[in-house]
Structure 1
Amino acid sequence: MNAAACALMRARDALTDLRPQPDDITADALAGLSQTPKTLPSKYFYDAEGSRLFEAITREPEYYLTRTELALLEARLPSIAQAIGPGAHVVEYGSGSGRKTELLLDCLRAPVAYTPVEISRTAVLEATARLSQQFPDLEMLPVCADFTQPLSLPESTRPAQRTVMFFPGSTLGNFTDAGALALLRGMRQTMGVGGCALVGIDLDKDPALIEAAYNDAAGVTAAFTLNLLARLNREIGSDFDLDAFRHRAVYVRERLRIETFLVSQRQQTVHVAGQPFDFAEGEPMQVEYSHKYTDASFAALAAKAGLKVTHGWNDAQDWFGLRLLQPA
């Protein structure tokens, strides 16, 4: 057995598996489709195929977010590491491929443990296995779960000086205002009095630049969005016709957010758990938000959650930012 296979086996042994079950997905889908306008939860984008497609999105030329945040991390790591301090237990929500995590862990002084919390079992196992080879002395405590729900994190064997919540990629922007506030409050509770959170935020800028990132010419984002329907068909037995829906993403400047829809291309009826849902031709079904921030709007959101911005780093163009939060 090679080193990679051994690392994957160790990751499986350490995994805390709390991933959503089919009944949970069905209930969420039924609740969303019963609303007006209809919605589906974006947290279910990330099955194995969705995670693969998202990684492909990050390599598209229009998608500035990942490469800008990676460059920002690389440029500011010494300052970030100093602000965080030694002996950290790093807890990451939505760990994905772990590329940004690798940079952070490499710069920190004597971190004691890493806990990725990821809804995709495949993604969390692969990322943990890869990182365990690069950081053999770091305790890996992976959790497969929906991080928007309450959960108990595994404790590290060695005591940590502080808990650091790592939430890159502007994933916070994918929540409604109420959802983002609830998530930050939950992070505050998890980090404790002496903890902190390093959060990536996409900043308000030219709407054309933002819209292009969510409507790439190669159609990878469209395939990613439609994969949500494929997952529901496979896992809960719905009968969405993927050819009958079209991806659309628009930046609504007054609400500082991208709004992503799957638009019905004809009059049709979709069944979920035996319940029919009628769609009119041209009817949009909301599947994702992606909020953008100003310094003022983000600081205000953090304050509502009982947090304060203690450090901030932006790229040279002010396209993307990293903010360190601590309990107020």
Structure 2
Amino acid sequence: MSSFAEDLHAALAGPEHTISPKYFYDAQGSTLFEQICELPEYYPTRTELALLRRHAGDFADRMGPGAQLIEYGAGALVKVRLLLERATRPHSFVPVDISGPHLLAACEALQREHPSLRILPVVADFTRPHVLPDAPPDGRRIGFFPGSSIGNFDPKEALEFLRLLREELDGGALLIGVDLIKDPARLHAAYNDAQGVTARFNLNLLRHAQRALGLECDPAGFDHYAFYDPRKHRIEMHLLPRGEQHLQLQGRRYTLVPGESLHTENSYKYSVESFQALAREAGFRPSAHWTDEQRWFSLHWLEA
């Protein structure tokens, strides 16, 4: 039984009905997320891209020559292009992503733009132990984890994940994007866009389960619901049942009723200081950070 099936059974049977947001990302989910990144309400992508463009030379200097650049949750490979354009004789680029077809298609496009670059894709769940290509003989391993995806982990999981990266990048460094605590109204708008793309993205988790696992359910019987909890500094996303909803997975039947929800994502927000404290606890040494003028978003350089 696949880990997706195991995790979905556990979510539907458990008291909290919580499942990892990594299951949003089949090919359709990846496409929907790319659309989210273009929305006027969704500030993280354009803010982070502006920071990457502005400081690309600094990042290239910190990477040094002959580096192996590893992008976790690589997706469409948009942001990493800004690093590769300025990198000095990179040894290789290793994109790691759970959505194989989407990743390989993105790698083909990148290879056409950089015909001499060694691209070594790894189709894997980057949150779990995975095998990477050999480290470069003369350069460093540089991890790249943009998009504030670290916010999808609860604090304990984030610490464990950063420790995994610290070990994997030993002797190298990590460039990571982190969304900052801000006005809840701006956060609410970012996760409840007027075009309903985020709602379709959220509901795609059920459609992904239908396609991949044969889940029997009616996605139209659920509503997208997202809100900011200021006490926990996080956005929560849920799927709320409209009336009693019956789901069947691999011969097992489940029921969700009004007052319950399928909790599909958290997105934690940090201050610069609270994230640096987390990074230190994981064994990294914060070396530098960059924020936009509004202090909506931050990039951190962490030495491993």
Per the shorter chain, which TM-score range?
A: over 0.9
Tell me, in whole angstroms, the C-alpha distance in 2 between the residues paired with 1:196 and 1:148. Answer: 18
Match of 1:189 in 2: 167
- Cα shift readout 1:66-100 (whole Å, capped 9, x = no counterpart): 01100110011112222222211001111111110
- In the TM superposition, what is the alpha-carbon distance from 1:34 to its structure 2 partner? 2.2
Single out whichever of 306-315 and 80-89 deviates more from structure 2.
Answer: 80-89
Match of 1:287 in 2: 264
- In the TM superposition, what is the alpha-carbon distance from 1:326 to its structure 2 partner? 1.4
Match of 2:76 in 1: 97
Does the CA contact (< 8 Å) of 1:197 and 1:325 recur in 2?
yes
Does the CA contact (< 8 Å) of 2:11 and 2:262 recur in 1?
no
Does the CA contact (< 8 Å) of 1:89 and 1:160 recur in 2?
no
Does the CA contact (< 8 Å) of 2:127 and 2:161 recur in 1?
yes
Tell me, in whole angstroms, the C-alpha distance in 2 between the residues paired with 1:291 and 1:202. Answer: 8
Does the CA contact (< 8 Å) of 2:272 and 2:298 recur in 1?
no
Match of 2:2 in 1: 23
2:252 is the counterpart of 1:278 = no
Match of 1:9 in 2: none
Match of 1:128 in 2: 107
- In the TM superposition, what is the alpha-carbon distance from 1:137 to its structure 2 partner? 1.8
Q: CA RMSD in A?
A: 1.2
Tell me, in whole angstroms, the C-alpha distance in 2 between the residues paired with 1:302 and 1:169. Answer: 17
- Cα shift readout 1:137-190 (whole Å, capped 9, x = no counterpart): 21110011111111110126x624100010000011111112211111110111
- Cα shift readout 1:261-307 (whole Å, capped 9, x = no counterpart): 00111112212222222211142211001111101210121122111
- In the TM superposition, what is the alpha-carbon distance from 1:32 to its structure 2 partner? 1.9
Match of 2:141 in 1: 163
2:46 is the counterpart of 1:44 = no
Single out whichever of 132-141 and 68-77 deviates more from structure 2.
Answer: 132-141
Secondary structure, counterpart of 1:139 in structure 2: coil
Tell me, in whole angstroms, the C-alpha distance in 2 between the residues paired with 1:126 and 1:87. Answer: 25
Match of 1:269 in 2: 246
Identical-pair percentage: 44
Match of 1:322 in 2: 299
- One-letter code aligned to 1:48: A
Match of 2:37 in 1: 58
Match of 2:221 in 1: 244
Tell me, in whole angstroms, the C-alpha distance in 1 between the residues paired with 2:254 and 2:280. Answer: 40
Tell me, in whole angstroms, the C-alpha distance in 2 between the residues paired with 1:255 and 1:310. Answer: 27
Secondary structure, counterpart of 1:269 in structure 2: strand
- One-letter code aligned to 2:50: A
Does the CA contact (< 8 Å) of 1:29 and 1:41 recur in 2?
no
Residue of 50, 66, 69 corresponding to 1:71: 50
2:95 is the counterpart of 1:116 = yes
- Cα shift readout 1:94-144 (whole Å, capped 9, x = no counterpart): 111111010011111111100000111122112211111222221110011
User: Aligned residue pairs: how many?
Assistant: 304
Tell me, in whole angstroms, the C-alpha distance in 2 between the residues paired with 1:95 and 1:23. Answer: 22
Does the CA contact (< 8 Å) of 1:113 and 1:141 recur in 2?
yes
Does the CA contact (< 8 Å) of 1:32 and 1:41 recur in 2?
no
Does the CA contact (< 8 Å) of 2:215 and 2:249 recur in 1?
yes
2:124 is the counterpart of 1:145 = yes
Tell me, in whole angstroms, the C-alpha distance in 1 between the residues paired with 2:84 and 2:108. Answer: 15
Tell me, in whole angstroms, the C-alpha distance in 1 between the residues paired with 2:244 and 2:30. Answer: 31
Match of 2:151 in 1: 173
Tell me, in whole angstroms, the C-alpha distance in 2 between the residues paired with 1:127 and 1:315. Answer: 28
Tell me, in whole angstroms, the C-alpha distance in 2 between the residues paired with 1:137 and 1:26. Answer: 40
Secondary structure, counterpart of 2:262 in structure 1: strand
- In the TM superposition, what is the alpha-carbon distance from 1:23 to its structure 2 partner? 2.0
Tell me, in whole angstroms, the C-alpha distance in 1 between the residues paired with 2:105 and 2:269. Answer: 30
Match of 2:12 in 1: 33
Tell me, in whole angstroms, the C-alpha distance in 1 between the residues paired with 2:177 and 2:123. Answer: 22
Q: Given the superposition, is the C-alpha separation of residues 128 and 160 from structure 1 closer, same or farther in structure 2, using an over 3 Å criterion?
A: farther
Does the CA contact (< 8 Å) of 1:239 and 1:272 recur in 2?
yes
